[in-house]
Structure formats: structure tokens, C-alpha cells
Structure 1
């Protein structure tokens, strides 16, 4: 998993380096009239950096504390309720917050009618991202489990007792309790390892989708010079980051990364939006949200992020938990999870009024 972390960090660094450069451009549309006050706006931006950083850190680390707080352990029913709530938040983020922004960017009158008016690029980018997430999810899990199965069971066969091998070649059936127990133990270990690897893939892909749109949100907020625009965003994005962190933290907990891996993932999630705001502050003098380049880049990235978040929330979070035998056999837990899902989606949808 060290290689995966390095690839993840490399991609994120490239994103941070390239995005501020590609959003620069000459304005082709008249900017909207708004009250500009750089000094007051800067105060709100600094407040946003602090509040979003703290909220994100608390949100992502809260489920991780299940290792020390038994009530938050993944085996407890409350963990299913928390994950359902957080999954609703992530689903609403994709549908209500990110995807509409992508549609607004890629259908802007500031873009040329051809080709942007000839084809629904937003839906196409979201679809491609969702399919790509499925492929990554499937191939990474399949490769990892196949490698583990070959290395484990291949070694088990080589270490099998000689009399068992002779009996098999002679056509006789021998019952070896120790061998049977060994294979059963190996199968259970393989199943557990396969599930663990899947959770790790889910955590990394989900964090990637979250980071992409978090960078864009941060840069947009940091580049704005209107206190009226920034003020409601501070509270809305603080809650947004907290709830989203809970969903990601739940996945990280189930993935059982080592302390170093947990620290890296939590740190990147917590810092992404504040770093984006800092970048936005730095490029505010040259940033133009109505330039074709900015609209296209933000639109494509937002659409891709929406596709990833929608896929991950429906397939890897909700479907996996709602089809879990523990929930299927517990009607009270099932009802509670449905209520938590609706609450999470509803609360995040309500925040769309301000963010």
C-alpha cells in the first residue's frame, strides 16, 4: 500500500500545481456586479481556513476513534448508522452540490456554442468517471486478491504432507483433519484479506473524488472578493467538510490502514480545502471565474468528481452496508439506517441554499 500512497500523493500534488495555472484566462463575459471589499473578504477567508480545517479533521478522525471508543467500533450498530448518514451526505454532495455546478460551468454563455452547446459534456464526463471508478475498483481488488490467493495457497500446496500427495495420486481418499483445518483457515484468511483490500481501494478512490472537488471549492472561495458571497459559505462548507469527513473516516476505519496511512489520508483530506483557499487568495488578482479556460477546467473536474462520489456512495457505501447480512436480519437497524441516510442527504441538500 506504500506504492498506492505515493501514487496518490503524486497525483494530488500535480493537481494542486496545474489547477491554479489553467484557471487563468481573459474574460469573455462581463463580470457580475458584486460588493467587493478585499480587507473584509480576507478576514472571512482566514476564518474559513481555520473552521474548515478543524471541522474536517474532527469529522475524518471521529470514526477512526472507534479503535479506542468501543461505541464507535465498526462491529457496533451505531457505526452502520453513522456510515449511512455520511453516505447520504456524499450522495447529496455529488447530486446537489457538485453536478449542478458542473452543468452551470459547461453550459455557460461565456463558452462557444460549438462544441460546448452541441453535446452534454457534463453528463458524459460524470459517466466516464463513474465507469472508470468501477474499473479501478474491480481491477485493483481482483489483482490484489489473485496475488494473495496464489502466494498463500501455492505455498500451502507445496507444504502439504507427503502422504497426502501420495494418497491423492493413488486415487485413495484420505481424511486429514489437520490439512482440512489448514485449508479452511486459509480460505477464511483469504476472504478476510480480500475484503480488507477492497476497503482500502474504496478509501483511496473515495478520497480522490473528494479531494478533486475540494480543491476547486477552495480556490473559488479564496479567489472571491465579495464578503456577501463568502460569509454564508464559511458555515456551509464547515458542516459540509465535517459530514464528508465522517463518511471518509468510516471507510478508512474499515480499511484498517496502519497509523502512518491513516495520518496521510486524514491530513490530505483536512488540508485540501484550506490549501485551495490559500491558492485562491494568491491568484485572486489574475483569477477570472468567467474565462472559458476556468469554466471548462472546473466543469470537467466537477463532473468527474460527481461521477466518482455518486458511484462510491451508491455502490461501495450504501449497497455494501444495506445488503450486509447483519442489517438484513435486523429490522430495527435497517429502519435506523434508512432514517440516517435520509437525514444525511436532507441536511446536505439543505446546505445547497447557502453553498
Structure 2
């Protein structure tokens, strides 16, 4: 049984890495299908939202309710939404960093303008400055890598800490969906920064490795306890992570009113479909 469980975890880790890497490569080879990408992102957002709220959080609550000293305190929601708040803080700091770098770039362009006295020359030099180093786009790409990598690592820890097939199924599907689409978003950001091929593949590989590394750490931590406390705690962390990714990162960016009413309805139905299918899965797993 132990050997079978090791094989299952190993297959899950390899599959997550492959999905993460291929998602990034997909962004590099296909840049002209924005509406299709939005639909897929919204479906994934629905899957993540249902996975966090309907699958993981109730399971985590059941696993933690008998924890010694906890009483009737809702530990699972506390862990889940504390994770949500921490990820939001990381996001805010990342946005500040990106805007700060962008502001410095604009200041340098204004300095060029004041020194040259010719708006056309200043504009050309500023454009050359932006195209040569791409500071704002590089900042966005690195910030995105850090943010996505952080909650991918947390999701991996949650997967590694699980001790039964039912729990792995609950977490693995949403992780695969999110990993692929997150890697595609990261890949697009790196491509927009005009990164050389070796830099592109290095960054995508690093991102693809974050969830497998988290799985190894979660598996190691879970070995300290024979009960389900660690697994339930990591389920709560995963629930908060999935809800954050869906509500803050995926759905607002992908659900666009600029595409017209019909496309907006198609996007919304994609979100509902992803949520509904994952919610229906709770009947069997």
C-alpha cells in the first residue's frame, strides 16, 4: 500500500510539472486567441472556487473539529481566509513594487525630455529606453512569478500532506487546471518582456517546479503526525488559496464587458460551467 501511495504521489507531482511547463510554452507559441484564453480562465476560476468552498473547506472543517483544545472554534475558515488575506498582502506589495519601477522609468523619460528640449527626440529616446531594458514589463513578469509561485507552493504542500485518494482527487484536478493557465499567464508576461529563449524557459521551469517542491515539503511535514490534522490544515490553506486565485486574480481579469453582451454571456456561462461541474463532483468524491 505504501509503494502504491508513493507511486500515486510521484505521478501527481510529475503531471503537475508537465502541465506547468506546457502551459508556459503554450503562451509562447500562441498569442492571438485572447477570447478563448478568457473562456478557459473563467472555467478554471469556477473550478477553483467550487474546489475551495465546496470540497476542501468542509473537509478541512471535519478534520479539525475534534482537534484538542479547539472546541467549537471554526479553525478551518480561520486558516483559509487568513491565507486569503496574506496572499492579498503579497499581491498589494507586488503591485507597489511594479508601479514603483514603472514610476522610475517615467521619471527617466521626463529627465530625457527636459535635457533634450525636443519632444520628438525625447519620445524616441524614451521608447528606446523602454524597448531595450523593458523595466516595467520585467518587473511585472518577476512579480507575477513570485506571486503565482507562492500560492502554487502552498497548493503543493496541501497535496503532499494528503493521505487518501479521495483527498488527492479533490486537490489535484484544480491544481492542474490552475497550474496550466497560470503558467500560460506567466509565459505571456515573460514574452511581453522580450526575454531571450533561455531566460524564458528557465523562469517557466522554476515556476513549474514550485508545486512539486511544495508537495515534497507537505509530504515531509505530514510524516511527523499519524493523524489527519496536518492534512486537514493544509486543505484549509489550499481552500483559501483557491478562492483567492479565483476571486482576485482570474475572474476580474477574464470577465470583460468590452467584448459585447453575447461574448460576456458566453464568458459567464463558462464560469458557471466550471463551478457547476466541480460542485457536482462533490456527489461522488
Normalised-by-shorter TM-score class: 0.7 to 0.9
Q: Deviations over 1:103-128 (max 9, x none)?
A: 223322x423xxx2254333333333
Give 1:317's aligned residue.
250
Cα offset, 1:238, TM superposition: 5.2
Range 331-340 or range 81-90, more displaced: 331-340
Give 1:141's aligned residue: 95
Query: How many angstroms apart in 2 are the aligned matches of 1:302 and 1:236?
Result: 10
Unaligned segments of structure 1, at least 5 residues: 1-40, 165-174, 222-228
**Could you say if the C-alpha distance between residues 349 and 66 of structure 1 is closer, same or farther in structure 2, counting changes exceeding 3 Å?**
same
Question: Which residue in the other structure is 2:68 paired with?
Answer: 111
Please report how far the alpha carbon of residue 181 of structure 1 lies from its aligned counterpart in structure 2 after TM superposition: 6.0
Measured in 1, the distance between the counterparts of 2:7 and 2:284 equals 17
1:91 Cα deviation (Å)? 1.8
* Structure-2-length-normalised TM-score: 0.76
SS of the residue 1:208 aligns to: helix
3-state secondary structure, aligned to 1:258:
helix
- Root-mean-square deviation over aligned CA pairs: 3.6
**Larger-gyration structure (1/2):** 1
What is residue 61 of structure 1 aligned with on the other side? Answer: 21
Give 5+ residue unaligned stretches, structure 2. 191-198
Relative to total residues, which structure has the larger helix share, 1 or 2?
2
Q: Offset at 1:86?
A: 1.8
Q: How does 1:249-260 map to 2 (within 5 A)?
A: 249-256=183-190, 258-260=200-202
Which residue pairs with 2:158 in the alignment? 216
Cα distance in 1 between the residues matched to 2:33 and 2:123: 29
Alpha carbons of structure 1 residues 346 and 253: separation in structure 2 relative to 1, 3 Å: farther
Pick one of 298, 304, 307 that aligns with 2:240. 307
Number of residue pairs the alignment of both structures matches: 275
Relative to the length of structure 1, the TM-score reads 0.63
1:242 aligns with 2:242: no
Which position in structure 1 is the counterpart of 2:60? 102
* Alpha-carbon shift at residue 235 of structure 1 (Å): 5.9
